[in-house]
Amino acid sequence: MTQPKPATVRVYFDADVGLAKLLCQNRSDFTYPGDPGGRIQKRLRPPCPIIKPGARDEDWIPVVAKRGWLIITRDKQIQSKKAEIDAVRDNGAKMVNLASEDAGTVWAQLEVFMTRWRKDIEPLIGRTGPFIYIATRTGAFRPLSLTPPG
């Protein structure tokens, strides 16, 4: 049996995205907090450096941003989460927020993610941060301002 080639992780799913484990079974370039890594097809994904799913945003965002990974999250009140927005901006992070009204269940998350993947989400992997985009199933794929109000 041939040795698997190392995988290059490109996308990180926040702990609040139940879809992560499903997708990580088939994609060696996706990871999530607590991911033990493993062989996916002919690639070997390393364990995720974020071990605890309950890690605070201010703690894990710099780690993920440093690696250049695109973050997929689901946060109903992201517009009002100053610490999270600051962490994205200050660390040059790249984030897509699955709008909670469209992503309340794993199935709904899958629908939003796959509807937006090829045209909107995947092209962001190669972009430089910081940015946050809001993804819905049928509405606009829109950027969120990282500038504090006032």
∠ CA 104-144-127, rounded to 5°: 100
Strands 11-13 and 38-40: unpaired
- pLDDT in the model for residue 137: 85
Residue 3's pLDDT is 83
Tell me how far apart the alpha carbons of residues 78 and 122 are, in angstroms, rounded to a whole number: 21
Largest Cα–Cα distance of the chain, in whole Å? Answer: 61
What tokens does 63 get? 């780690």
Q: Residues 4, 43: contact at Cβ < 8 Å?
A: yes
- Give the residue carrying structure tokens 């941060």: 129
Query: Checking DSSP bridges between strand 70-73 and strand 30-31, what pairing results, if any?
Result: unpaired
Distance CA 122, CA 49 (A): 22
Predicted local distance difference test score (pLDDT) of residue 148: 67
Q: For the stretch 114-139, what's the b/e string if a residue is b when 16 or more beta carbons lie within 10 angstroms of its beta carbon? A: ebbeeeebeebeeeebbbbbbbbbee
H helix or E strand, kind and range, residue 63: helix 57-66
Residue 10: what pLDDT? 97
pLDDT tens, the chain, 150 aa long: 678 899 999 999 999 899 999 999 999 999 999 999 999 989 999 999 999 888 888 899 999 999 999 999 998 777 777 888 999 999 999 999 998 677 888 999 999 999 999 999 999 999 999 999 999 888 889 999 998 665
